[in-house]
Amino acid sequence: MAPTVNRRTIELAGLAVPLVELTGSADGPLLTVIAGVHGCEYASMAGVRRWCRDLAERDLRGRVRAVPVLNLPAFRSRTPFVVPDDGKNLNRCFPGTADGTLSERLAYDVFHQLIAGSDAYVDAHCGDMVEALQPFALYEAGPAEGRARELATAYGLPYVIRQESGPGRVVAGSSSGAAAEAGIPAITAEAGGCGLVEEHAVAMHVTGLNRVLQVLGMTDGQWGAASRPTYLSRFVWLRCDRAGWWEPAVTAGQHLTAGQLIGTVGTLDGAEVQETITAPADCVVTFLTSSPAVSDDGLLIGLGSE
């Protein structure tokens, strides 16, 4: 029997955010799925939108709460990375504060109204407007990491990265990190990028979410097991010192050997190379800033290694 579907808006920090609630005909876990924490990550939003439509027609055990586009101010103004109202990266603000800036209040409301109480949590992302990306899933260290690793593997992307908790963490304040600290198995799934809605990336999210349902016992298996990913234990982000013109010499998904040229940052007049960036170890390029425009301490590239 098809689930009961309730499409409504939920008020989060004063924003009327679209929410799809699906209640299955039998009991089961509560899965929460969010896309659009970053406002120009369209492939992940498109994936969640399509998945919700498909799911409305299928058998479901348990409940799904899905937000296809969370960061409405960024989405509407086509602002990558941050909430335009306060310039903060929403995915560095979790679990948020009730009386902070818009990003902090939004994180607080999302955490308390959507993430808390879930049996599993998926935060669907891709490269933002100016990021090329090799698909990967991050899972969070912590009490629920065994289950989180299963979910990350089931999503079916070529790489799976364990995100350390505490000081070793590359990204602090993420929604999946906050979920993991609350004991909820949580993953960040990344496929797509560069402000594009590419069918293969959208399909990766749809299939990944279906396989997550399968692992949670919320749907009958018809997607099969995902092929085994490569597990990466180190995740390193490289930044430039000074603003300039970024010219990568590598592409997302490329395997690099230690010392290999990654790219240069030069002066805007084209006369000089300011910085030469090389690979610190044998690694794979998980994401890459595709825009030449980089600021002081600008993010250039994300590398994963075994």
Rounded to a whole number of angstroms, the minimum distance from the CB of residue 125 to Zn ion is 3
Q: State the virtual CA torsion across 51, 57, 63, 66 in degrees, nearest 10.
A: 30
Q: How far is the CB of 253 from Zn ion (least distance, A)?
A: 18
22 versus 90: smaller Cβ distance to Zn ion: 90
Nearer Cβ to Zn ion (38/105): 38
Chain contacts with Zn ion (rule: CB under 5 A): 38, 41, 125
Choose between 125 and 147: whose C-beta lies nearer to Zn ion: 125
* Residue 37 vs 216, nearer CB to Zn ion: 37
181 φ, ψ to 5°? -65, -25
DSSP 8-state secondary structure symbol assigned to residue 49: H
CB of residue 188 to Zn ion, shortest distance in Å: 8
First-to-last CA distance in the chain? 44
- Distance separating alpha carbons of residues 155 and 239, to the nearest angstrom: 29
> Rounded to whole angstroms, how far apart are CA atoms 136 and 191?
7
Q: Residue 275: which of 299, 241, 298 has the closest Cα?
A: 241
Task: Report how far residue 191's alpha carbon sits from residue 194's, in angstroms, rounded to the nearest whole number.
Answer: 11
Q: Which residues does 266 contact at the CB level (< 8 Å), separation at least 6?
A: 244, 245, 247, 272, 273, 274
- The residue among 191 and 279 lying less far from Zn ion, judged by its C-beta, is 191
Least spacing, CB of residue 23 vs Zn ion, in Å:
29
The least CB distance from residue 74 to Zn ion, in Å, is 10
Shortest Cβ 202–Zn ion spacing (Å): 15
**Nearest approach, Cβ of 15 to Zn ion (angstroms)?**
18
127 or 185, CB closer to Zn ion? 127
Helices (H), the chain: 42-55, 72-77, 102-110, 145-154, 175-181, 199-215
Helices (H), ranges, 187-281: 199-215
Minimal distance in Å, beta carbon 41 to Zn ion? 5
Nearer to Zn ion, 38 or 88 (CB): 38
Cβ proximity to Zn ion: between 152 and 279 the closer is 152
Identity of the amino acid at 292: P
Alpha-carbon distance values, 298 to 95, 212, 237, 244 (Å): 25, 34, 10, 9
φ/ψ of 302, rounded to 5, equals: -115, 130
